[in-house]
Structure formats: structure tokens, C-alpha cells
Structure 1
Amino acid sequence: MKISQRLRKIATMVHKHYDHIWDCCCDHGLLGAKLLDNNCADTVHFVDVVPDLMQEVSAKLERFYPVTDGKEKRWQVHCIDVALLPIADKKQSQLIIIAGVGGQLLIELVQAILAKYPQHSLEFILCPVHHIFEVRKALAKLNLGLIDEHLIEDNQRFYEILHVSTQSQQAVSLVGNKMWDLTRLIDQRYLQKTLAHYQRTQVGLLKKPSLDEVQKNEITQIINAYQALQPQS
């Protein structure tokens, strides 16, 4: 199967070799297979909660990445909730990739993993399908620091991809920092689309008489933050 532009971009963001990479919500295992091809880790873990899907992934891995004599197995398949990842020893380097899920679920999964392994040095590559502002806000509260970030368009949808870690000292911006290049048409389109979304949201919220000042101020702050990214004429 052809790998999507989104998954290809995630694969290119893995710049070093890890002891373990956890490809969570791995679907058909295409990203993990690409990471195996690129020799990105001693062990690539394929994780999802759908039994039939994981049986299919396991069969493909047995076929295309068989264990040969004298070599250790380079992959493992886990049919478990991502919140229950059996992370290896804290001395080993770990990269956890979570992509293709909603923002709220992604936040809950990251929170659960950090709570379970508070002494581990962990890296995450995260690509939610929506609610990216809420994801960024949560990552900042969890004291995760930015390593890298990218904006891409794939199949007529925009995605922000964040590489963060428990060790990085660079703050996660609520609206993005390193990913923006407003000389590119894609960035201009994405910024305008995002602003239009929050402006529509603001109009809808202001029609509610019960809306408190905190909610009003929050949506105004979001709009102001995105507007500040626009080049000054």
C-alpha cells in the first residue's frame, strides 16, 4: 500500500536511531514499516487496539521482515490500549508516535504515558486530526518542550506535526513557531482557514447570553495570537 504524505513526513522527522520506537494507533503498519526500512530503531513496536488489524499487521511483518538466523527480531506487535504501553527501561531511548486520532484522545494518551513513567526521558511525535490548539496548550502544561514542528497538507486536509520531549527546554507555542513560512501558499491558506474557524466560533459563542467572561477572553486571545502571525503591511 502507498504511504501517505503525512506518514512520509513523520518518518522524515525521525533524525536519530532509538532503542525503541512505538508506532501507536498504527492502523495498517505503514509508518512502522517505513521506520524499519530506514533502520530507525533497534525495535519498532506496532500498537493498536483492534485485534483483526493487528493480526493482519503481524502476518505482513512475518512475511516481509522475517527473523533470520543469528539476528534479533526488529519488531513487536501489541494489541493494547496506548495508555498502557509497556515502555522499556528508562536508560533506553524511546520515541512514541501518536497520529491519526482526535486531539482530546491524544492529550489523554500522552497524560497517561507521562503519569505511568515519570522518571523516563521520552520523546513524542504527535499528529492529531483536529483540536491542535488544545493539544499545544496541554503539551505546554505537561512541561513538554519542542524539538521540531511541521505543517503539511495531505489529501486536502492540513496537519500540524509536533516533535516534543520531556528534556527539551524550548516552549511549545500555542499557535506554532518553527513551522510557519508565510511565503508559502500552504501556510497562508492554513492561517486564513484557522482564523476563519475561530472567528466563526467567536460569533457563535457571543450569541450565548450565559457565556462567561473567561470563555469570551479565551477565544479572543486565540484569534489575536493567530492574527499576530500575519505579516505587517
Structure 2
Amino acid sequence: MDDTQGSRVALVTGGSGGIGRATAERLARDGMAVAVHYAGNRRRADDIVAGITAAGARAVAVGGDVASEEEMVAAFDAVEAEFGGIDVVVNTAGIMLLGPLESFSLDDLDRMHRTNIRGTFVVSQQAVRRVRSGGAIINFSTSVSKLQFPGYTAYAASKGAVNAMTLILAREMRGRDVTVNAIAPGPTATDLFLDGKSQEQIDALAAVPPLERLGTPEDIAEAVAFLAGPGRWVNGQIIYVNGGAI
């Protein structure tokens, strides 16, 4: 454990998911106190918290709908009450629904945009108001915005909005000593990504990067840890973490 990070506190939205869990565990290994956010699966979040605390770090589970201002105010309040403040906010919470634009359900479009766009906006708004000097706000985008896979129109559009929010917010934070960046993963072996894909599709996607494999949640968490800790001179950037796929 890195004791130099011992006084820092991180909130990871979607912390009970694949990338979120790996991120929470990675930041905890760096010595940060971690709030593991969940939307619906409290037991999984509690299991992650138990594992982190068993390893000697501090952690707590906090729930809520990322698109609800009231619920996110309560979540941030809970983190501050437990740990005394917040230094890092990581927005991994998101949903991915796929299909061609021609036949894509507008209800699905609205549902995905509510989580991916409004949720990122709501969480970022609370982060701006609360993250301490020297902190970091880390959003989640996607490499698909450049890979341009058919069927990803709606999802990539939602993440395009995240890119815009991230780049502008970094400039709005001038003088606050808080960095704002986004991680844009490529194909990563999470339940969210693998759901509904055939083995043939998975193999084809794994062959896209020159490293010839899918990313892992731990690969993505390493990039988050850099931005959350030593990467203080990286600001206002979209970081493509995809093994060289683009």
C-alpha cells in the first residue's frame, strides 16, 4: 500500500461492475479510502467493500441512481460523512445498448442517454462542488467513437457527449487544481461488453488490437490510477486505453 495516498478519498460510480470493481480495488491498493457506488446490487458492492477492508484499506458502499440529483447528493454526503472529504471521482457507471440506427428503439436511446449523459453530468456537477484541491475527476468514454463499429451509433453518441463535457469542464476548473479527463476503453472483457456477443464476434474484436487480446478491467484500472494519482500534468484529455486498436 502507498501511504502517500493514505489521506485521499475516491468515489467510484458503478463500482460494483467489472471496470468499476477493478478500479475501486486498484485505488484501495494505492492507499485511498474508496466509496463503492452501486445502483441496484447492494450485495455485490458489500462483497467488494469486504474484500477491500480485509486487505487493510478503508471502503464503504453507497447507493443511488446516478441520474438523480437527490440520490447523488445523498451519496456524496455519505462519503464525506464517512471519510471527511472527496479527492477523486471516477464515473464508470454506464449502460451499453446496441443496434443499427435505422431500427434502434427510442426508449432504449432515452434510457441509455439518461445514465450515460445525464448521469455523468449529475455526478460531475457534484464532483465540481466537492472535490478538494489536488483532486481528479475521471469520466468514462469509449474508443468506439473512433473505431466506428456498426451498431454502436447510440452508445457512441452518448459517449461523445461525455467527451464534450470532460474537455469543457477541465477549462471551467481553471485555478482549482483539479484535473478532469476521460478514459476511453477499447473492447474490454466485462459482462457489459460480452453480453449478447457470439464467440466469433468476441474473437474478431480480440484480434483488432496489435496486442491481439481483449482488454481486462485491470488494464483500464491502471490508467485510472495514473490519472487519480501521479498524472497531475494530464488534464483535459480523452485517454484511449485499447491496446493500440486505433
Q: TM-score, normalised by structure 1?
A: 0.46
Higher strand share: 1
Structure having the higher Rg? 1
Higher helix share: 2
Q: TM-score, normalised by structure 2?
A: 0.44
